[in-house]
């Protein structure tokens, strides 16, 4: 008999099984509560630390939110006035353009150098592990320390970079790294590339480790080594990692603030103003929290677009 | 432990968490609950931004003296200067402002206009002894909201050896300044260093030239203001001042001066301890040079202010006012001024002060004629300050002519 029963149960069509469970069990069964408990912490966390700030930021951008608000709690509703102010500002278009150039330049530089270094460190050689861990240094250094150091390196008159270039005969007149509006953005991008390399190397190096060695061995037998091996084996296998690195890189770079504040504070003559810097200065220098929130909402919107691109790319990868 | 009891403990935790959240968001509307704890006040909380030694312990000594005099113990918190306003805002929204709060003088009017500060007159604090210019920064609608601590300002420091070697006298006029700076520029050494950074520091350093020449922050698009900007542009374009000044803080300026890379600098007396620490640099100071005969060197008045926030506890607020009154006393002003190279803001002390601290002679005169940044514009000052440093940056980088720089900067 027990045998029979088991066979019977197993022979019931699988489709009806879930429905049976649902109707048979009460709504607040132990199982459902347990399921809910798995979701609740994540949901509470998301609502508290992502939902609330985003909603608050949006409402703040529609209010006249100033120093007074902190004491009186009154923030008069002003509709889209803050957005009109920031879009009408002379600094909005340059800041948007600088944000785009800064992001593109930084990502391109970080990624190419990161990929080259990761490929290089894939080979084992004496001290390779030690050198690879040294690469993480910019990551471990507080950004404010890093930018202060770079500020002295890039000093026009006595900075070590200009002195070295002059000594080597590469340049004759010192380059005004941080003091010319034409050069400052490039200099800031340069420093941000330095900051971003460890992240790129680490992730890409991890991705390279996942590519089976046999592929290279088989390809080598067919005569594909060096550049050919990279193009036909490394690059296609690395694609999912590359998409993660690029999209996260974009989102991280869009919001970079401390490096620019430390190096130029948005100057010279507003040449390194980005949306993040504008948002910071409006909120915490001018105490116009409404306009500051409006700037950061624009920034959030741009990040969101890239986040969606990332999610879609990922979903496609999973489907494949 | 069954699922039921797990569930219960989870609910309990969730309940506590939500309570904590409501407690956090309690700030905001309405007036503070006036909890009168009676006349017997034993401690006062103090918040200031002298977070580094030696200033931290110097101020501690000054605080302790007044605390002993009014019979309270002090619970002191310090925050870095750049976090001061953010801390004040956070604390005012969570109703945890200290009993005694130190603000920078240009912040007082802004904070007072939010209703967070109480007028010192309400506690019969006598502020008549303070110099008029120092009260300009703390007076809103005829009420005084703060007691200034000894003040600082800007002047022209010069390297005595370098000037003597070049046969240059310390400049008194803009023409002399240009000539001296040109003569003192050679090789690695610039004639003059100053800060023209894209921050309020850059505006603060421009003010002495602008005000001395009769310029005014209420209207920046005037010949007087533009002449001051022209002076900057001339100095940089002639090579007497490094192009890097648009990225230098006042600390950088001091470093250049100490390293002998600048023969003169615009800076304030708070750099004197650092200058005294490098005895190979022989220095002295004069007031800011003037453009035309008959002008008075007019620099901005710097310095902190003690205030009494509206905490709702009337007894504590009264005691806090007593404490603030004490910090304005002759004794307190004199000892703090001597220890920190800052000028007591009471005219009746200046003669004695200069006698005791001769290096501060120039700065004492400069403080007497100094102007408060928020004296005219109040809480609109930050906007003017932003326009000023932006215009200076536009002109020095050649992005705008001196003629157009202020109009272009004002469009923000």
Separation CA B332–CA B326 (nearest Å): 7
ipTM score for this prediction: 0.82
Which residues of B are less than 8 Å from A150 in CB distance? none
Given a contact cutoff of 8 angstroms between Cβ atoms, the answer to whether B289 and B297 are in contact is: yes
Asked if residue A137 and residue A284 are part of one domain, the reply reads yes
Q: Do B27 and A73 touch (CB under 8 A)?
A: yes
Separation CA A264–CA A262 (nearest Å): 6
Rounded to a whole number of angstroms, the distance from the CA of A181 to the nearest CA of chain B is: 7
| Arithmetic mean of pLDDT, A160-174 | 91
Nearest to B311 by CA among B117, B148, B78: B117
Q: Across the interface, which of A68, A74, A267 has its CB nearest the CB of B393? A: A267
Q: Do A269 and B89 touch (CB under 8 A)?
A: no
Q: Do B7 and A158 touch (CB under 8 A)?
A: no
Contacts of A42 (CB under 8 A, 6+ apart): none
Tell whether A69 is covered by a domain: no
Separation CA B108–CA B374 (nearest Å): 9
CA distances from A285 to A22, A279, B245, B300, B407 (A): 58, 10, 21, 20, 21
Which residues of B are less than 8 Å from A176 in CB distance? 243
Domain boundaries, given as residue ranges, for chain B: 43-151+303-368, 155-300+377-410
Asked if residue A36 and residue A126 are part of one domain, the reply reads no
Residue A304's DSSP bridge partners are none
Sorting pLDDT into bands at 50, 70 and 90, what band is A239? confident
Between helices B314-327 and B330-340, what is the axis angle to 10°? 60
Which residues of A are less than 8 Å from B412 in CB distance? 89-91
Q: Which of B27, B104, B247 to mutate to test the interface with A (most CBs of A within 10 A)?
A: B247
Q: Do B243 and A179 touch (CB under 8 A)?
A: yes
Q: Do A73 and B111 touch (CB under 8 A)?
A: no
Nearest to B243 by CA among B176, B196, B288, B289: B196
Asked if residue A234 and residue A178 are part of one domain, the reply reads yes
Which CATH number fits the domain that encloses residue A299?
Answer: 1.10.3720.10
Tell whether A222 is covered by a domain: yes
Q: Do A286 and B393 touch (CB under 8 A)?
A: no
Separation CA B337–CA B344 (nearest Å): 6
**Joined tokens for residue A264:** 């130029």
Tell whether A146 is covered by a domain: yes
Which residues of A are less than 8 Å from B115 in CB distance? 68, 71-72
Nearest to B120 by CA among B395, B327, B343: B327
Tell whether A73 is covered by a domain: no
Tell whether A100 is covered by a domain: yes
Which residues of A are less than 8 Å from B9 in CB distance? none
Residue B48 phi, psi (nearest 5): -145, 175
- Determine how β-strand B43-48 pairs with β-strand B73-78: parallel
Closest residue in A to B411 (Cα–Cα): A90
CATH architecture of the domain B155-300+377-410 equals 3-Layer(aba) Sandwich (3.40)
Q: Across the interface, which of B86, B90, B199 has its CB nearest the CB of A265? A: B199
Q: Which of B246, B398, B411 to mutate to test the interface with A (most CBs of A within 10 A)?
A: B246
Each residue of A189-221: pLDDT tens digit? Answer: 999 999 999 999 999 999 999 999 899 889 889
Q: In this predicted structure, what is the pLDDT of residue A318?
A: 57
Q: In this predicted structure, what is the pLDDT of residue B166?
A: 95
Which residues of A are less than 8 Å from B397 in CB distance? 179-181, 268-269, 271
Q: What count of Cα atoms within 13 Å lies in the side-chain half-sphere of residue B149?
A: 28
Residue B43's DSSP bridge partners are B73
Q: Do A285 and B382 touch (CB under 8 A)?
A: yes
- SS (HEC) of chain A: CHHHHHHHHHHCCCCHHHHHHHHHCCCCCHHHHHHHHHHHHHHHHHHHHHHHHHHHHHHHHCECCCHHHHHHCCCCECCCHHHHHHHHCCCHHHHHHHHHHHHHHHHHHHHHHHHHHHHHHHCCCCCHHHHHHHCCHHHHCCHHHHHHHHHHHCCCCCCHHHHHHHHCCCCCCCCCCCCCCCCHHHHHHHHHHHHHHHHHHHHHHHHHHCCCHHHHHHHHHCCCCHHHHHHHHHHHHHHHHHHHHHHHHHHHHHCCCHHHHHHCCCCCCCCCCCHHHHHHHHHHHCCCHHHHHHHHHHHHHHHHHHHHHHHHHHHHHHHC
Query: Where are the alpha helices (H) located in B123-266, listed in sequence order?
Result: 132-136, 160-166, 174-183, 200-212, 223-237, 250-258
Given a contact cutoff of 8 angstroms between Cβ atoms, the answer to whether B241 and B181 are in contact is: yes
Which residues of A are less than 8 Å from B400 in CB distance? 269
Given a contact cutoff of 8 angstroms between Cβ atoms, the answer to whether A296 and A83 are in contact is: no
Asked if residue A300 and residue A236 are part of one domain, the reply reads yes
Q: In this predicted structure, what is the pLDDT of residue A286?
A: 87
Rounded to a whole number of angstroms, the distance from the CA of B130 to the nearest CA of chain A is: 28
Tell whether A74 is covered by a domain: no
Separation CA A154–CA B329 (nearest Å): 48
Buried b / exposed e along A150-175 (16+ C-beta atoms within 10 A): bbebbbbbebebbeeeeeeeeeeebb
Asked if residue A150 and residue A244 are part of one domain, the reply reads yes
Residue A313 burial by CB count (10 A; 0-12/13-18/19+): exposed, middle or buried?
middle
Asked if residue A101 and residue A40 are part of one domain, the reply reads no
Number of domains in chain A: 2
Q: What residues make up the domain containing A46?
A: 2-61
Q: Do A287 and B29 touch (CB under 8 A)?
A: no
Q: Do B89 and A68 touch (CB under 8 A)?
A: no
Count the neighbouring beta carbons within 10 Å of the beta carbon of residue A55: 11
Sorting pLDDT into bands at 50, 70 and 90, what band is A25? low
Which residues of A are less than 8 Å from B408 in CB distance? 90
Q: Which of A37, A55, A268, A271 to mutate to test the interface with B (most CBs of B within 10 A)?
A: A268
Sorting pLDDT into bands at 50, 70 and 90, what band is A72? confident
- Assess whether pLDDT exceeds 90 at residue A309: no
CA dihedral B140, B325, B106, B95 (to 10 degrees): -80
Residues of chain A above pLDDT 90, percent:
52
Q: In this predicted structure, what is the pLDDT of residue A55?
A: 95
Tell whether A102 is covered by a domain: yes
Given a contact cutoff of 8 angstroms between Cβ atoms, the answer to whether B294 and B91 are in contact is: no
**CA A24 to the chain's CA centroid:** 48
Q: Do B244 and A179 touch (CB under 8 A)?
A: yes
Asked if residue A172 and residue A268 are part of one domain, the reply reads yes
**CA B169 to the chain's CA centroid:** 30
Q: Do B114 and A181 touch (CB under 8 A)?
A: no
Chain A: residues touching B (Cβ < 8 Å):
30, 33-34, 37, 44, 48, 67-74, 89-91, 151, 155-158, 176, 178-181, 264-271, 284-287
Tell whether A215 is covered by a domain: yes
Beta-strand ranges (E) seen in B69-199 are 73-78, 100-104, 139-140, 143-144, 147-148, 155-159, 190-193
CATH architecture of the domain B43-151+303-368 equals 3-Layer(aba) Sandwich (3.40)
- Which stretches in chain B have pLDDT values below 50? 1-38
Closest residue in B to A273 (Cα–Cα): B198
Q: Do A270 and B30 touch (CB under 8 A)?
A: no
What's the alpha-carbon Rg for chain B, to the nearest Å? 24
**Joined tokens for residue B67:** 């605390």
Residue with tokens 């150039």, as numbered in its chain: A101
Sorting pLDDT into bands at 50, 70 and 90, what band is A11? very low
Q: In this predicted structure, what is the pLDDT of residue B35?
A: 42
Sorting pLDDT into bands at 50, 70 and 90, what band is A4? very low
Rounded to a whole number of angstroms, the distance from the CA of B278 to the nearest CA of chain A is: 20
Asked if residue A244 and residue A175 are part of one domain, the reply reads yes
Q: Across the interface, which of B261, B382, B397 has its CB nearest the CB of A268? A: B397
Separation CA B307–CA B109 (nearest Å): 11
Each residue of A110-140: pLDDT tens digit? Answer: 999 999 999 888 888 888 888 888 888 888 8
- The yes-or-no answer to whether B43-151+303-368 and B155-300+377-410 have a common fold is yes
Q: Across the interface, which of B10, B197, B397 has its CB nearest the CB of A181? A: B397
**Could you please report the per-residue DSSP string of B189-208?**
BEEEE----SSHHHHHHHHH
Rounded to a whole number of angstroms, the distance from the CA of B162 to the nearest CA of chain A is: 20
3-class DSSP state of B283: strand
Nearest to B212 by CA among B292, B272, B296, B142: B296
Which residues of B are less than 8 Å from A178 in CB distance? 244, 247
Q: In this predicted structure, what is the pLDDT of residue B195?
A: 97
Please say whether the dihedral angle defined by the alpha carbons of residues A92, A100, A282 and B249, taken in this order, is positive or negative: negative
Residue A212 burial by CB count (10 A; 0-12/13-18/19+): exposed, middle or buried?
exposed
Q: Across the interface, which of B21, B29, B382 has its CB nearest the CB of A286? A: B382
Mean of the per-residue pLDDT values for chain A?
87
């Amino acid at each position: 008999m027990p045998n029979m029963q088991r066979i019977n149960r197993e022979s019931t069509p699988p489709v009806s099984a879930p429905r049976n469970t649902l109707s048979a069990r009460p709504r607040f069964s132990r199982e459902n509560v347990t399921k809910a408990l798995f979701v609740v912490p994540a949901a509470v966390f998301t609502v508290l630390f992502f939902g609330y700030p985003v909603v608050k930021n949006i409402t703040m951008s529609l209010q006249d939110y100033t120093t007074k608000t902190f004491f009186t709690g009154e923030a008069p509703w002003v509709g889209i006035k803050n957005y009109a102010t920031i879009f009408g500002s002379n600094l909005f278009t340059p800041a948007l353009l600088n944000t785009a150039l800064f992001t593109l330049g930084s990502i391109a530089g970080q990624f190419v150098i990161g990929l080259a270094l990761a490929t290089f460190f894939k080979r084992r050689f004496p001290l390779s592990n030690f050198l690879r861990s040294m690469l993480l240094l910019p990551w471990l250094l507080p950004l404010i320390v890093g930018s202060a150091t770079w500020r002295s390196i890039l000093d026009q008159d006595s900075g070590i970079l200009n002195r070295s270039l002059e000594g080597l005969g590469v340049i004759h007149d010192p380059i005004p790294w941080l003091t010319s509006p034409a050069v400052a953005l490039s200099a800031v991008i340069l420093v941000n590339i330095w900051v971003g390399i460890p992240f790129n190397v680490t992730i890409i190096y991890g991705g390279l480790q996942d590519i089976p060695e046999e592929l290279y061995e088989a390809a080598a037998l067919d005569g594909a080594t060096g550049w050919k091996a990279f193009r036909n084996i490394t690059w296609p296998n690395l694609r999912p990692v590359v998409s993660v690195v690029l999209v996260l890189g974009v989102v991280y770079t869009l919001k970079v603030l401390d490096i620019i504040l430390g190096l130029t504070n948005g100057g010279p003559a507003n040449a390194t103003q980005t949306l993040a810097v504008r948002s910071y200065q409006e909120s915490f220098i001018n105490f116009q929290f409404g306009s500051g929130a409006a700037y950061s909402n624009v920034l959030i919107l741009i990040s969101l677009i890239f986040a969606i691109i990332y999610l879609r790319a990922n979903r496609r990868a999973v489907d494949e | 432990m069954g699922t039921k009891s797990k569930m219960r403990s989870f609910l309990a935790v969730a309940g506590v968490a939500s309570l904590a959240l409501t407690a956090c968001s309690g700030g905001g509307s309405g007036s503070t609950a006036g909890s009168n704890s009676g006349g017997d006040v034993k401690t006062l909380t103090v918040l200031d931004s002298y977070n580094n030694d030696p200033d931290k312990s110097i101020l501690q000594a000054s605080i302790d003296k007044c605390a002993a005099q009014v019979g309270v113990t002090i619970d002191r918190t310090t925050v870095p200067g750049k976090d001061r306003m953010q801390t004040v805002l956070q604390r005012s929204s969570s109703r945890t402002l200290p009993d005694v709060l130190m603000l920078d003088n240009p912040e007082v009017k802004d904070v007072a206009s939010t209703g967070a500060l109480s007028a010192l007159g309400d506690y019969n604090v006598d502020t008549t002894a303070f110099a008029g210019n120092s009260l300009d920064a703390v007076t809103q609608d005829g009420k005084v909201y703060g007691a200034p601590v000894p003040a600082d300002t800007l002047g022209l420091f010069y390297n005595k050896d370098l000037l003597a070697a070049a046969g240059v006298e310390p400049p008194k006029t803009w023409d002399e300044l240009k000539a001296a700076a040109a003569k003192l520029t050679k090789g690695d050494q610039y004639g003059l260093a100053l800060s023209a950074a894209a921050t309020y520091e850059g505006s603060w350093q421009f003010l002495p030239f602008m005000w001395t020449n009769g310029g005014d922050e209420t209207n920046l698009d005037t010949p007087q203001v533009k002449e001051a900007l022209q002076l900057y542009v001339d100095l940089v374009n002639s090579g007497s001042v490094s192009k890097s000044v648009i990225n230098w803080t006042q600390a950088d300026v001091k470093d250049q001066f100490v390293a002998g890379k600048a023969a003169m600098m615009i800076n304030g007396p708070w750099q004197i301890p650092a200058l005294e620490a490098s005895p190979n640099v022989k220095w002295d100071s004069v007031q800011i040079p003037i453009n035309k005969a008959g002008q008075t060197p007019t620099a901005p008045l710097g310095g902190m202010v003690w205030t009494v926030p509206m905490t709702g506890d009337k007894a504590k607020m009264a005691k806090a006012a007593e404490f603030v009154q004490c910090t304005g006393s002759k004794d307190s002003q004199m000892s703090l001024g001597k220890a920190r190279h800052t000028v007591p803001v009471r005219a009746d002390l200046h003669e004695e002060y200069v006698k005791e601290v001769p290096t501060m002679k120039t700065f004492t005169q400069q403080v007497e004629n100094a102007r408060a940044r928020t004296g005219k514009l109040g809480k609109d000052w930050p906007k003017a300050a932003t326009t000023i440093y932006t215009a200076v940056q536009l002109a020095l980088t050649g992005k705008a002519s001196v003629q157009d720089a202020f109009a272009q900067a004002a469009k923000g």
